[in-house]
Amino acid sequence: MSLPTQVRLVEVGPRDGLQNEAQAIDLADKIRLVDDLAAAGLTHIEAGSFVSPKWVPQMAGSAEVLAGIQRRPGVRYSALTPNLRGLEAALQAGVDEVAVFAAASESFSQRNINCSINESLQRFEPLMEAAARHNLPVRGYVSCVLGCPYEGDIAPTAVARVAKALTEMGCYEISLGDTIGVGTPNATRRLIETVARDLPRERLAGHFHDTYGQALANIYASLLEGVAVFDSSVAGLGGCPYAQGATGNVASEDVLYLLHGLGIATGVDLQRLAEAGQRICQRLGRANGSRVARALLAGRA
């Protein structure tokens, strides 16, 4: 299969990235991050999460973030919603889209959202109905698609089952999450081939954490399989509170460099993105997790 000519990036740094920071983050910094990402040309930004503040304290201010940003036309600002209550809060906050999240592993489902996979799908039903009434697009995540921190290997057919169920419920796109970043390219290709028996490839997205340094290779493998939507996190921010040792998503700057090198259009300005990442890293006092950003910014200095 030939490579796509265009890729849509879903920037998850303000959610997947910041949700894992233990330190308090100023609301102004969260807002500035989202605005900087939109200014760099990203059109799809996951800006927060309407989950229990006891489970993920860092996302408690998501409504304030959405109230504070300067909305750019053409940009979709989305948030995670685990249940109807989350959806109602997200609607109140004026999101353009929400995302539900299920897992391909029973143990991870229990640890992450405190219920079985089937219970989670049932819980999404009223949420999906309410979203449809509001014409709100819903994206679906499946976690642990290439391995689980508690169960190890996960069968691609287990992922396909959940991806199909979420699609039948009304999710317009399924983001396949390598939550702990253990996948390698051949496993990624097998996974996509299996999931694509039930779903068109245009409805699939890749969400690779970079724990084992395989994310870019897995993205390339996914591109060869016809996937053209990828989630990434500026400066490689983040991890997962329910997957010990997992690092952040692949850095958006690194994905951009790969895609532009392949002649694939994204509409995103790499230099501006790198500057946005560097700014939030400085505010958090953390090292920049993007090798491309480090190289670019060092070159400029």
- The answer to whether residues 95 and 78 touch, using CB atoms and an 8 Å cutoff, is yes
Q: Please give the Cα distance from 281 to 288 (Å, whole number).
A: 6
Q: Please give the Cα distance from 268 to 191 (Å, whole number).
A: 28
Residue 152 has phi, psi (to 5 degrees) of: 75, -130
User: With CB cut-offs between 5 and 8 Å by kind, which of ligand HMG, Mg ion, none does residue 300 bind?
Assistant: none
Q: Which is nearer to ligand HMG, 148 or 199 (by Cβ)?
A: 148
User: With CB cut-offs between 5 and 8 Å by kind, which of Mg ion, ligand HMG, none does residue 79 bind?
Assistant: none
Would you count residue 50 as binding ligand HMG (CB under 6 A)? Answer: yes
Helices and strands per DSSP (H, E), number in the chain: 11, 8
Interface residue with ligand HMG among 49, 188, 211, 214 (CB under 6 A) is 49
Q: Give me the DSSP letters along 50-95.
A: -S-TTT-GGGTTHHHHHHHS-PPTT-EEEEE-SSHHHHHHHHHTT-
Q: Please give the Cα distance from 268 to 254 (Å, whole number).
A: 12
Interface residue with ligand HMG among 55, 150, 212, 220 (CB under 6 A) is 55
Would you count residue 51 as binding ligand HMG (CB under 6 A)? Answer: yes
Would you count residue 86 as binding ligand HMG (CB under 6 A)? Answer: yes
Size of interface with Mg ion, in residues (CB under 5 A): 1
Positive or negative: CA dihedral 83, 137, 88, 243: positive
Residue with tokens 């500035």: 32
Active-site residue (options: 144, 148, 171, 240): 240
Q: Which stretch binds ligand HMG (CB under 6 A): 45-53, 158-166, 218-226, 256-264?
A: 45-53
Size of interface with ligand HMG, in residues (CB under 6 A): 27
Q: Which is nearer to ligand HMG, 173 or 278 (by Cβ)?
A: 173
Would you count residue 107 as binding ligand HMG (CB under 6 A)? Answer: no
Distances (CA, A) of 110 to 84, 95, 101, 105, 216: 18, 27, 12, 9, 29
Q: What share of the chain is helix, strand, coil (3-state, %, to 5)?
A: 45, 20, 35
Would you count residue 207 as binding ligand HMG (CB under 6 A)? Answer: yes
* Smallest separation, CB 263 to ligand HMG (Å): 28
Q: Characterize the bridge pairing of strands 138-143 and 229-232.
A: unpaired
Q: Which stretch binds ligand HMG (CB under 6 A): 46-54, 162-170, 250-258, 283-291?
A: 46-54
Reading the block at residue 38, the tokens are: 């939109």
- The answer to whether residues 261 and 248 touch, using CB atoms and an 8 Å cutoff, is no
Restricted to residues 129-188, the positions that interact with ligand HMG (CB under 6 A) are 141, 143, 177, 179
Interface residue with Mg ion among 4, 7, 13, 16 (CB under 5 A) is 16
* Smallest separation, CB 182 to ligand HMG (Å): 12
240 is catalytic: yes
Interface residue with ligand HMG among 6, 114, 118, 271 (CB under 6 A) is 114
Neighbours of 53 (CB within 10 A): 13
Interface residue with ligand HMG among 28, 70, 71, 85 (CB under 6 A) is 85
CA-based R_g, the chain, Å:
17
* Smallest separation, CB 226 to Mg ion (Å): 22
Query: Which residues lie near ligand HMG (CB under 6 A)?
Result: 16, 19, 49-52, 54-56, 80, 82-83, 85-86, 101, 112-114, 141, 143, 177, 179, 207, 209, 240-242
Query: Which residues lie near Mg ion (CB under 5 A)?
Result: 16
Catalytic annotation, residues: 240
